[in-house]
Structure 1
Amino acid sequence: MSADASATSKVTPGATTAASSQTTKHRGRPGRRTSLAWKNLTDAPVRTAVSIGGIGFAILLMFMQLGFLGSVGDTATVVLSRMKCDIIVRSKDYLNVYDPTSVPGDLPQWLESIPEVRSAVPLDIGVTVWQSPEDESFRAIALMGIDLDDPAFDLPELTPQVRSQLRPQGSVLIDDASHKSFGPKNKIKFGELDFGTTTDVAGSPATIKGTFFMGTGLAANGALLGTRETFDALTPGPRGNRVSLVLLSLENPEALEQGLHAVEQRLRSLGGPASQAKAMTLDDAMQSERQRWYYQTPIGMIFGIGVVLGVVVGGVISYMVLASDVMAHLSEYATLKAIGYSNSFLVKTLLTQSTLLALLAFPPSLLLACLLYYATSYYSSIPIRMTWTWIGVVLALTLFMCNAAGVFALRKLLKAEPASLF
């Protein structure tokens, strides 16, 4: 028997149908084309299910890494996003919102005299040491000091009654998103049961007067809010006449660039320590904060590398799946080449098959990722949210890695002669 005859005898029903439909079409008679890629998948359902599971694992890995990476940016700006201002004035030595260093304490008065500025509000912020009232362990916690007559934050909890309760030195509100390791009485989150509880903060007594919600994250697992006097009392070391940040609201928020220019001119004209302060819009400050956590901290880099690793792992898994499928149907592909099908037809078939695998694996992976996002947010108090951006990015990466793997899996077949493959 000749090589061509032998090759033809080994063709699968799917390949035969595809070939016959091609012939029918060429003869001008109507015919129904059979998808060879779909036949390859349905011909071995167990192998296809395993393949979908492997690719789905890689997709899930990418979703989780992107979710954590997104939470880095979200939690980095959680404090800035609640500030009531148009422009922020901060030290040129600023590192992050919880380590802002400081600027001269009389700077708010000097800046408020600018015609373009409606108000200049001081804000103290830093990290101190909290002793859990439950197990007396010590943990780092964020502390923010505000002017009660003109609060720096847009918080509905700061009602006139609550503000009056915060006036005595040592009175604080605690973020109800603070981790349970800080010692709430119900072992889950801070609430009414904790009102009136007094504990040690940096060697001084602090009394919980209520809760507020701002949100914590990777930079800090808990947060306290009090007056500027309370901030001075609950932070170690003397501060002198210094303030962490100055929040400026403009008379005309629409003229943002004009207001920013006026503030920068005033800072330069003051000279001395004031000239070491830097003014920037709130949006620019938030973008700068994200960029720092993404690119200048180990946390952002780790999750960024994790996304790349997910693509690599997914590519390897996809290659193994598709290469195995090519080897399993090697004689059928050889037969198609022997009877005249072009390399482009084989490439199109395998790319269609790899695309189908990607599209079949994506929905269950997306559903599982949403469930894991919810569970992680609930148990770790770190907000992780699914966005259309992440869905689009992961879908694009999935299609890319599967199709790239398909091309690599087929390259051996494309270089081979049909007779040598039997």
Structure 2
Amino acid sequence: MVPHSPENSPATPAKRTRLAWQNLADTPVRTMVSLGGIGFAILLMFMQLGFLGSVGDTATVVYSRMQGDLLVRSKEYLHVYDTASLPDELPGWLAGLPEVSRTIPLDIGVTQWQNPSDHSFRAIALMGVDLDNPAFDLPELSPSMRAALRSTGAVLIDDASASDFGPRQGDHFTEADVGVTTDVAGSNATLKGTFAMGTGLAANGALLASRETFAALTPGGHNDRVSLVLIELADSLSADAGLDAVRRRLRSLGGPAAHADAITLDQAKIAEQQMWYTQTPIGMIFGIGVALAVLVGGVIGYMVLAADVTAHLSEYATLKAMGYSNRFLVKTLLSQSSLLALLAFPVALLASLILYSISSAVSGILIEMTWARIALVFALSLVMCNAAGILALRKLLKAEPANLF
């Protein structure tokens, strides 16, 4: 009977797993240091992806509360707080289409807010809505609150606005700030309450008011312009047909309307996220940070595994001399690399959850863990450690057993 070669033996998988584990258990101090280094690299990936994800999440906080199916905006639109503008008559021009149920005007931009406490000025987002046809689905826009906002200068402030805007108590605006009057772009503005929408990286604070107040509190005035037009379709299930009809109407109008374009609200959200990811310095910085985290992790993993291979070089040489193939040695080291990733991952995940919570509390920008992010980082961790393991083993694979003793 021909004897089984080591790599073809039925017991080989069990032995391989035990060998990989034994290499780690044999040197607990080195293993703990290795786990610390790899865990740090995994934590870096979690944090960079978390910051990058928060860029995309905050980019759509305004869109997430908009009502409607389609969005009409200027072709010169940059982002939600720099929209350019459209003719104020445009909502009426589009309302006559049979595919359109209603049109909703929205004014949005950035103005100057004076801190009521220290009288310093801060840039703040300002949104103007038609109080009879509000663009946002907000419980705070009750009939009584809309009545209070009809007086020029009456505003609501987002309760997530940063503390440097001057809340009376603590770090956030509350009911204690109702009645405060301050300067906004040279005119008086009076707080009538708060609303919960969320701010982002483009603006640390936000105000909500009527369209008339928006014009009064915006430098230059915008009485004959509108920033965005939301469209609610008669049949929301036929969004493509409605979108085609609106685009045809825009082309037929010509003149200033020719500078407008229509997209679905879902498309607008995706485009806003992509713009922040790829066209802003902060998005690109965090994107590069993710790549660097993987690179750093790979370097750390390589150093850890290369040191382990060097420490066990004679044992690997003995296995080669006994007839074990390079394939077996690679599989053994890949098993060891995977074990390191599996052991380091839970601790890094727990640490990232703690840091997400701390970062959210300090910055006021929510950073949430997602299952997709966990799966991505886990996959990157395995790839990172296994690639480092293969690189670390290249010296052994090229050498003859006799030269390794």
**Which TM-score band (shorter chain)?**
over 0.9
Q: 1:120-149: per-residue Cα shift (whole Å, max 9, x none)?
A: 111000001111112211111100000001
The alpha carbon displacement at 1:239 in A equals: 2.5
> Using a 3 Å threshold, how does the CA distance of structure 1 residues 241 and 414 change in structure 2: closer, same or farther?
same
The alpha carbon displacement at 1:379 in A equals: 1.3
Q: Which amino acid aligns with 2:357?
A: Y
Q: Which amino acid aligns with 2:308?
A: D
Give the equivalent residue in structure 2 for 1:270: 253
Give the equivalent residue in structure 1 for 2:316: 333
Contact 2:173 2:194 in 1 (8 A): yes
The alpha carbon displacement at 1:244 in A equals: 0.2
Q: 1:344-366: per-residue Cα shift (whole Å, max 9, x none)?
A: 11111100000000000000100
Contact 1:77 1:289 in 2 (8 A): yes
Give the equivalent residue in structure 1 for 2:18: 35
Give the equivalent residue in structure 2 for 1:110: 93
Residues 1:243 and 2:226 are matched in the alignment: yes
Residue aligned with 1:254, SS: helix
Contact 1:123 1:243 in 2 (8 A): yes
Of 94-103 and 337-346, deviating more is: 337-346
Residue aligned with 2:332, SS: helix
Q: Which amino acid aligns with 1:394?
A: V
Residues 1:219 and 2:219 are matched in the alignment: no
Contact 2:52 2:283 in 1 (8 A): yes
Q: Which amino acid aligns with 1:408?
A: L
The alpha carbon displacement at 1:187 in A equals: 2.8
Q: 1:298-343: per-residue Cα shift (whole Å, max 9, x none)?
A: 1111110000000000000000000000000011111111111111
Identical-pair percentage: 67
Q: Which amino acid aligns with 1:418?
A: P
Distance of 1:238 and 1:151 partners within structure 2: 20
Distance of 2:398 and 2:54 partners within structure 1: 47
RMSD across aligned positions (CA) = 1.7
Of 30-39 and 57-66, deviating more is: 30-39
The alpha carbon displacement at 1:214 in A equals: 0.4
Count of matched residue pairs: 400
Residue aligned with 2:305, SS: helix
Give the equivalent residue in structure 2 for 1:57: 40
TM-score, normalising length: structure 1: 0.92
The alpha carbon displacement at 1:240 in A equals: 4.3
Contact 1:217 1:383 in 2 (8 A): no
Q: How does 1:3-82 map to 2 (within 5 A)?
A: 33=15, 35-82=18-65
Distance of 1:344 and 1:420 partners within structure 2: 19
Residue aligned with 1:185, SS: coil
Give the equivalent residue in structure 1 for 2:263: 280
Of the three residues 381, 384, 403, the one matched with 1:398 is 381
> Using a 3 Å threshold, how does the CA distance of structure 1 residues 391 and 29 change in structure 2: closer, same or farther?
closer
Q: 1:89-126: per-residue Cα shift (whole Å, max 9, x none)?
A: 11000000000010000001110011111111110000
The alpha carbon displacement at 1:22 in A equals: 8.1
Give the equivalent residue in structure 2 for 1:322: 305
Q: Which stretches of structure 1, 4 residues or longer, exceed 2 Å deviation after superposition?
A: 28-34
Distance of 2:185 and 2:348 partners within structure 1: 46
Q: Which amino acid aligns with 2:309?
A: V
Q: Which amino acid aligns with 2:27?
A: A
Distance of 2:12 and 2:380 partners within structure 1: 38
Residues 1:163 and 2:146 are matched in the alignment: yes
Structure 1: gaps of 5 or more residues = 1-20
Q: Which amino acid aligns with 2:181?
A: T
Rg (Cα) greater in structure = 1
Contact 1:67 1:384 in 2 (8 A): yes
Q: 1:350-402: per-residue Cα shift (whole Å, max 9, x none)?
A: 00000000000000100111111111111111111100111011111110010
Residue aligned with 2:237, SS: coil
Q: How does 1:84-233 map to 2 (within 5 A)?
A: 84-233=67-216
Of the three residues 312, 316, 320, the one matched with 2:295 is 312
Distance of 2:241 and 2:320 partners within structure 1: 70
